[in-house]
Amino acid sequence: MSSLARPTHGRMIGGVCAALARRFGTSATTMRIVFVLSCLLPGPQFLLYIALWILLPSEDRAGTTAW
């Protein structure tokens, strides 16, 4: 499994579904369909997506360290 970072290529909105798909070894399309279907159920799915969008580093900045 790879580290959890939003990819710079292959993302549609924020790259959260693409990052999760890469982490769990599935396709990004499958992860997007699962997310859309989960939004039909009650719960904080959309808020979780926004939180992950904010908290997950972008792939181009994931390897850099701040001094």
The pLDDT profile of the chain, 67 residues, written as one tens digit per residue, is 567 888 888 778 888 999 999 999 999 999 999 999 999 999 999 899 999 999 988 887 666 554 4
Q: Tell me the three state secondary structure of residue 6.
A: strand
Q: What does residue 6 show for φ and ψ, rounded to 5 degrees? A: -70, 125
Q: What does residue 58 show for φ and ψ, rounded to 5 degrees? A: -75, 150
Which residues, 6 or more positions from 10, have their beta carbon under 8 angstroms from its beta carbon?
18, 28
- pLDDT for 48: 92
- pLDDT for 10: 78
In angstroms, the CA 1 to CA 51 distance is 22
Q: What is the domain partition of the chain in residue ranges?
A: 16-59
- pLDDT for 67: 44
- pLDDT for 2: 60
